[in-house]
Structure 1
Amino acid sequence: MYLLRSGIIYLLVLLLTVHQSFSQEKIRLINNWEFVRQDLGGIWEAVRPVGKGNPESVPLWEKVSMPHCFNSEDAVDPDVNYYQGPGWYRTLIDVKNPYNEGRVLLHFEGAGQKTEVYIYTTKVGSHTGGYDEWSVDITKAAEDFKRTEVCRKQFGGKVPLIIRCDNSRDLEMIPSDLSDFTIYGGLYRYLNLLYVPALSVDKVFATPETDAAGKAGHLTVRARFYNPANVVAAKAELRLLDPSGKRVAVKTVQLDDLKGDVQLWDLRIKEPLLWSPSKPVLYTLQTVITFAGGTFSKSEKIGFRNFEFVEKGPFLLNGQRLLLRGTHRHEDHAGVGQAMTEDMIRTEMKMMKDMGVNFIRLGHYQQSRIVLDLCDSLGIMVWEEIPWCRGGLGGEVYKEQARRMLTNMIEQHYNHPAVIIWGLGNENDWPGDFPEFDKEKIRTFMKELNDRSQRLDPLRKTAIRRCDFCSDIVDVYSPSIWAGWYRGVYTEYKQVSLDEFNKVKRLLHVEWGGDSHARRHSENPDNALNKIKRGGGADERAGDASLYGGAARVSKDGDWSESYICNLIDWHLKEQETMPWLSGSAYWPFKDFATPVRPDNPVPYVNQKGVVERDFTKKEAYYVFQSYWTEKPMVHIYGHSWPVRWGGEGEEKMIKVYSNCDEAELILNGKSMGIKKRNSQDFPAAGLRWSLPFVTGENVVKVAALKGREKVEDMLRFVYQTAKWGKAAKMSLKKIAEEDGMATVEVSLLDSNDVQCLDSTNWVRFSLAGDGKMVDNRGTSSGARSVQAYNGRAMIKVRLNKGKSVAGVTSEGLPAAFLKLGE
Structure 2
Amino acid sequence: MKKRELNSYGKALIMAFLFGFALYSCKSGIESDSRITETRVKQNFGRNWEFRRLADNAADESWETVNIPHSMKTEPLVVKEQWQGKAIYRKKFQVPSLEGRKWFFHFEGVMQEAKVSINDSVVMVHKGGYLPFTVDATPFLKEGRENTIRVEVSNLDDFEIPPGKALENLDFNYYGGIYRNVWLIKTNPVYITDAVRANQVNGGGILVHFDSISEEVARGLVKTQIRNETSENKQIQLRVVFTDEEEKRHEFLSSEAEAGAEEAISVSKEISIKNPQLWSPSDPKLYRLKVEVIADGELVDSEEIKTGIRDIRLTDTAFYLNGKKHFINGTNRHQEYPYIGYALSDEAQYRDAYKIKEAGFDFVRLSHYPQSPAFLAACDELGIMVMDAIPGWQFFGNEEFVQNSLQNIRDMARRDRNHPSVIFWENSLNESGMSKEYMKKANATLKAELPYEDTYSAGWIDDPAYDLYIPARQHAKPPFYWNHYEKQRPLFIAEYGDWEYYAQNAGFNQKAFSDLREEERSSRQLRSAGEAGMLQQALNFQEAFNSNLKGPHTVGQANWLMFDYNRGYSPDLESSGIADIFRIPKFSYYFYQSQEGPFTDAFSDPMVFIANFWTAGSSKDVKVFSNTEEVALFLNGKLVARKRADENIISDELPFPPFTFHPDQFEPGTLKAVGYIDGEEVASQVVQTPEEPVALKLNADFSGKNIALNTPDVIFVYAQVVDKNGTVVPTATNKIKFSLEAAPKNAEIVGPAAIKAEAGIATILLRTENFLHPLKIKASSPGLEETEITIENP
TM-score over 0.5 for the alignment? yes
Deviations 1:781-810 (A, max 9, x none): x9977x9x87xx9968799x9999999xxx
Distance 1:504 1:228, change over 3 A: farther
- Say whether the 8 Å CA contact 1:71–1:83 is kept in structure 2: yes
Aligned to 1:85: 85
Matched letter for residue 253 of structure 1: S
- Cα deviation, residue 670, structure 1: 2.1
SS of equivalent to 1:398: helix
* Aligned equivalent of 1:169, options 128, 138, 157: 157
Matched letter for residue 508 of structure 1: F
Deviations 1:715-751 (A, max 9, x none): 112259xxxxxxxxxxx9x9863769999699xxxxx
Aligned to 2:288: 284
Aligned to 2:115: 116
Aligned to 1:38: 54
- Say whether the 8 Å CA contact 2:252–2:271 is kept in structure 1: no
1:714 counterpart = 2:685: yes
> Matches of 2:229 and 2:616 in 1, distance apart?
70
SS of equivalent to 1:564: helix
> Matches of 2:545 and 2:130 in 1, distance apart?
32
1:26 counterpart = 2:42: yes
1:217 counterpart = 2:218: yes
Distance 1:214 1:768, change over 3 A: closer
> Matches of 1:770 and 1:164 in 2, distance apart?
35
> Matches of 2:777 and 2:380 in 1, distance apart?
46
SS of equivalent to 1:333: coil
Matched letter for residue 492 of structure 2: L
Distance 1:622 1:170, change over 3 A: same
* Aligned equivalent of 2:473, options 456, 478, 481: 481
Q: Where do residues 424-435 of structure 1 align in structure 2 (5 Å cutoff)? A: 424-429=427-432
> Matches of 2:20 and 2:309 in 1, distance apart?
30
- Say whether the 8 Å CA contact 2:622–2:660 is kept in structure 1: yes
Q: Where do residues 559-598 of structure 1 align in structure 2 (5 Å cutoff)? A: 561-575=533-547, 581-598=553-570
* Aligned equivalent of 1:184, options 152, 170, 175: 175
> Matches of 1:609 and 1:396 in 2, distance apart?
35
SS of equivalent to 2:356: helix
1:246 counterpart = 2:217: no
1:677 counterpart = 2:636: no
SS of equivalent to 1:497: coil
> Matches of 2:158 and 2:182 in 1, distance apart?
25
SS of equivalent to 1:653: coil
Q: Specify every segment of 5 or more residues in structure 1 that has no aligned partner in the other structure, as ranges.
A: 1-12, 47-58, 152-157, 431-438, 518-524, 533-546, 721-731, 747-757, 808-817
Cα-Cα RMSD: 4.4
SS of equivalent to 1:426: coil
1:467 counterpart = 2:438: no
> Matches of 2:17 and 2:95 in 1, distance apart?
25
Query: Identity, % of aligned pairs?
Result: 21
Aligned to 1:314: 318
- Say whether the 8 Å CA contact 1:236–1:287 is kept in structure 2: no
- Count matched residues: 681
> Matches of 2:206 and 2:266 in 1, distance apart?
10
- Cα deviation, residue 309, structure 1: 1.5
SS of equivalent to 2:350: helix
- Say whether the 8 Å CA contact 2:694–2:785 is kept in structure 1: no
* Aligned equivalent of 1:692, options 652, 659, 663: 663
Aligned to 2:481: 496
- Cα deviation, residue 759, structure 1: 11
- Say whether the 8 Å CA contact 1:592–1:607 is kept in structure 2: yes
Aligned to 1:375: 379
- Say whether the 8 Å CA contact 1:214–1:306 is kept in structure 2: no
Matched letter for residue 688 of structure 1: F
- Say whether the 8 Å CA contact 1:20–1:297 is kept in structure 2: no
- Cα deviation, residue 315, structure 1: 0.8
> Matches of 1:504 and 1:94 in 2, distance apart?
62
- Say whether the 8 Å CA contact 1:424–1:462 is kept in structure 2: no
> Matches of 1:498 and 1:662 in 2, distance apart?
28
Aligned to 2:422: 419
Matched letter for residue 326 of structure 2: L
Aligned to 1:107: 106
* Aligned equivalent of 2:439, options 443, 446, 452: 446
Matched letter for residue 220 of structure 2: L
- Cα deviation, residue 61, structure 1: 2.5
> Matches of 2:641 and 2:720 in 1, distance apart?
39
SS of equivalent to 1:473: coil
Point out the more displaced range, 125-134 or 171-180. Answer: 171-180
Distance 1:421 1:806, change over 3 A: closer
- Cα deviation, residue 33, structure 1: 2.4
1:704 counterpart = 2:703: no
Distance 1:101 1:608, change over 3 A: same
Distance 1:719 1:331, change over 3 A: closer
* Aligned equivalent of 2:634, options 656, 661, 667: 667
Deviations 1:682-710 (A, max 9, x none): 866725221113435x3311122234556
> Matches of 1:254 and 1:771 in 2, distance apart?
60
Task: Report the TM-score when normalising by structure 2.
Answer: 0.75
SS of equivalent to 2:427: strand
Matched letter for residue 443 of structure 2: N
> Matches of 2:635 and 2:579 in 1, distance apart?
28
Point out the more displaced range, 165-174 or 87-96. Answer: 87-96
Q: Where do residues 488-527 of structure 1 align in structure 2 (5 Å cutoff)? A: 492=479, 495-499=480-484, 501-503=485-487, 505-514=489-498
- Say whether the 8 Å CA contact 1:199–1:231 is kept in structure 2: no
Distance 1:531 1:227, change over 3 A: farther
Deviations 1:101-131 (A, max 9, x none): 1111111111110011222423222211111
> Matches of 1:795 and 1:515 in 2, distance apart?
29
> Matches of 2:279 and 2:155 in 1, distance apart?
39
- Say whether the 8 Å CA contact 1:668–1:700 is kept in structure 2: yes
- Cα deviation, residue 554, structure 1: 4.1
Distance 1:71 1:561, change over 3 A: farther
Aligned to 2:407: 404
SS of equivalent to 2:148: strand
> Matches of 1:124 and 1:804 in 2, distance apart?
49
Q: Give the number of the structure whose alpha-carbon radius of gyration is greater.
A: 1
- Say whether the 8 Å CA contact 1:677–1:687 is kept in structure 2: no
- Say whether the 8 Å CA contact 2:190–2:226 is kept in structure 1: yes
- Say whether the 8 Å CA contact 2:116–2:122 is kept in structure 1: yes
Matched letter for residue 478 of structure 1: I
Deviations 1:235-294 (A, max 9, x none): 323233242222224213312036455132123445533222222222333211122685
Aligned to 2:148: 160
